[in-house]
Amino acid sequence: MSKALVVGGNGFIGAHLVQKLVQIGWDVTVLHKYEQPRYSTMPDAVRFLRGDLTQESLLAEAVAGQDVVFHLLWTTTAIHEVANRDPAADVQANLVPTIHLMEACRAAGVGRLVFTSSGGTVYGRTQIAPIPEDHPNNPVTAYGVSKLAVEKYLQMFHHLHGLDFVVLRPSVPYGPYQNPLARQGAVAVFLYRVAKGLPLTIWGDGSVTRDYFYISDLVDALILGSTQPINSQRIFNLGGAEEVSLNHLIALAEETVGRKAVVTYQPARDFDAPRVLLDTTQAETMLGWQPKVPMKDGLAKTWEWMQDTIL
């Protein structure tokens, strides 16, 4: 039986990953400051440790004997502006604790560390699409800079200490358990606000595009990234098969909910990439991964969950 630690296992992505790992027979430990996921229940078989990466003794206990550590926790994931306003605090809250995690994994002889980076921010503003993994990295947000710094530290730890790692750069995952009351997470927010008749705020003219992909596809990639043999290629883009603009996403949300949206447009923000479409060829070739859930099906699944759980 494989043993895994999921750091941030009660978040949106983590809750789905934990459920899948338990389902396929893994021995799972969750390290998180919240005892339960927001919209689901942690499986009974999971060992839970309450805390964070700043607690040295707890961290050593968490990583001991683990085959795989999934690092999904990031304090400024919800609002990138938070990191931009105080980059030093972002480094202290995210980068420094992650380095402590790497040190603990090295000391404990962890089999592999899988890190969720950001395909939407580490590249910055790009001129080509789809974006390959070897595209220059010029992030324009503190969030993207910190994520990229973690990638570089992982490469350093691998070179100096032999720490096995995989970096996944997802575009925009969505699905059940995503908080519709947050400022990020366009799919959940759009569905909820359209259903409630609340206005949607679009920054710019709505032409910004992303390759959204369903949460189960991301979970598949995480598990493949933890188990597949890896050579020199350790960084993988993950994204959807469809490039969808915000305006088109509004239309899809209206179609799914059966109600017209109330939309207001505000000036574009200088830290929003106008286009994110990732080249996922490496993930397909090396991990055997590709997105399986079409956008309309994923929206329908998310809407069904939202009706049953929130509305």
My answer on whether 199 and 284 are in the same domain is: no
Whether 24 is in a domain gets the answer yes
Can you give the C-alpha Rg of the chain in angstroms? 19
What is the predicted pLDDT for the residue at 78?
47
My answer on whether 150 and 252 are in the same domain is: no
What is the predicted pLDDT for the residue at 95?
95
CA distances (Å), 233 to each of 44, 109, 136, 282, in order? 36, 21, 16, 8
pLDDT tens digits along 59-69: 999 999 999 99
My answer on whether 103 and 128 are in the same domain is: yes
Both tokens of 219, joined, read 């979970």
My answer on whether 139 and 203 are in the same domain is: no
Instruction: Look up residue 171 and give its amino acid.
Output: S
Whole-model pTM: value is 0.95
Residues with a known catalytic role: 143
What is the three-class DSSP state of 4?
strand
How many domains does the chain contain in total?
2
Whether 180 is in a domain gets the answer no
My answer on whether 118 and 228 are in the same domain is: yes
CATH code at position 77? 3.40.50.720
- Rounded to whole angstroms, the Cα distance separating 38 from 250 reads 25
- Rounded to whole angstroms, the Cα distance separating 213 from 13 reads 12
Q: Mark the ranges of the chain whose per-residue pLDDT is less than 70.
A: 76-81
For 282, list phi and psi in degrees, rounded to 5. -65, -40
What is the predicted pLDDT for the residue at 79?
56
Burial class (CB in 10 A: 0-12, 13-18, 19+), 35: exposed
What is the predicted pLDDT for the residue at 127?
80
Per the structure, the complete domain to which residue 55 belongs is given by: 3-174+212-241+277-291
My answer on whether 201 and 143 are in the same domain is: no
Q: Is the dihedral of CA 151, 16, 24, 104 positive or negative?
A: positive
What is the predicted pLDDT for the residue at 275?
87
Whether 179 is in a domain gets the answer no
3-state secondary structure 192-246: HHHHHCCEEEEECCCCCEECEEEHHHHHHHHHHHHHCCCCCCCEEEECCCCCEEH
Whether 287 is in a domain gets the answer yes
CA angle 124, 127, 132 (to 5 degrees): 70
My answer on whether 232 and 130 are in the same domain is: yes
What is the predicted pLDDT for the residue at 73?
93
My answer on whether 62 and 92 are in the same domain is: yes
DSSP for residue 128: S
